[in-house]
Amino acid sequence: MEWQFNAQIADIFSTHARQHIPNYDHVLDLAIDLCRQKSNVDAPILEVGCAVGETVIRLHNAGFTDIHAVDNSQSMLDRCPPDIATYYLSDKFPDVDIEFDAVLCNWTMHFIENKNPYLWEIYQHLRPDGFFFLTEKTANSGLALDQYHLYKSRHGVSDEEIRKKADSLRGVMFPETIEWYLQSLKGLGFREVCVANANWCFTTFVAIK
């Protein structure tokens, strides 16, 4: 059965994410810390792939007042706090005339097969000196994959669940290598690109326009 971000997944998303994504809370904390350091609290910030709104809530709690968030799952958006952000239901970049201080995109881009047009839209909608915070599933074989499966096992995911999820993601997830992201982000015109965090099969990039 093909993986879908439906109501069933939305109901368990917060627990599921922490079982399947190394450094989940640490990465969100890094994103919020960077927003605090580089942006005023009234600056527009966009999250791509907001899921049930955990990052939106953290931004709001940090004092940010112009928060935007997009997701392609209505089931996910239905669980987001309604009054602290402007939400968009779309599988494309929101059709807005806004120059964002920051775009945050965690564990989302690997579900987009043709990434370059979306990455270009992000770059175009960032202000000069704005930043793009991107976390992706990257290395996906060999030692890295073995260690990632061990992480999931240690967090309560059975071997059968691991197998079933892997089967459901075939043709749904389209990971690229770390090198691909570094080259693609630099090719778009970002003047500085660095790796901010990494764990088995997952990498966080920060790109400054």
| pLDDT computed for residue 171 by the predictor | 77
Q: Edge-to-edge strand order for the sheet containing 67-71? A: 86-89, 67-71, 45-48, 100-106, 126-137, 202-208, 192-199
Higher pLDDT, 14 or 137: 137
| pLDDT computed for residue 162 by the predictor | 74
**Each residue's pLDDT tens digit, 53-65:** 999 999 999 999 9
Q: Of 20, 22, 64, whose CA–CA distance to 41 is shortest?
A: 64
Work out the average pLDDT over 120-141.
95
**Each residue's pLDDT tens digit, 63-97:** 999 999 999 999 999 999 999 999 999 999 999 99
14 pLDDT exceeds 90?
Answer: no
| pLDDT computed for residue 72 by the predictor | 95
Query: Range with the lowest mean pLDDT among 110-124, 127-141, 157-171, 193-207?
Result: 157-171
Q: Percentage of residues in the chain with pLDDT exceeding 90?
A: 76
Work out the average pLDDT over 27-49.
97
Which band of pLDDT confidence, cut at 50, 70 and 90, is reported for residue 115? very high
HEC-encoded secondary structure of 108-169: CHHHCCCHHHHHHHHHHCEEEEEEEEEEEECCCCHHHHHHHHHHHHHCCCCHHHHHHHHHHC
Whole-model pTM: value is: 0.94
Domains and CATH numbers, the chain: 7-208 (3.40.50.150)
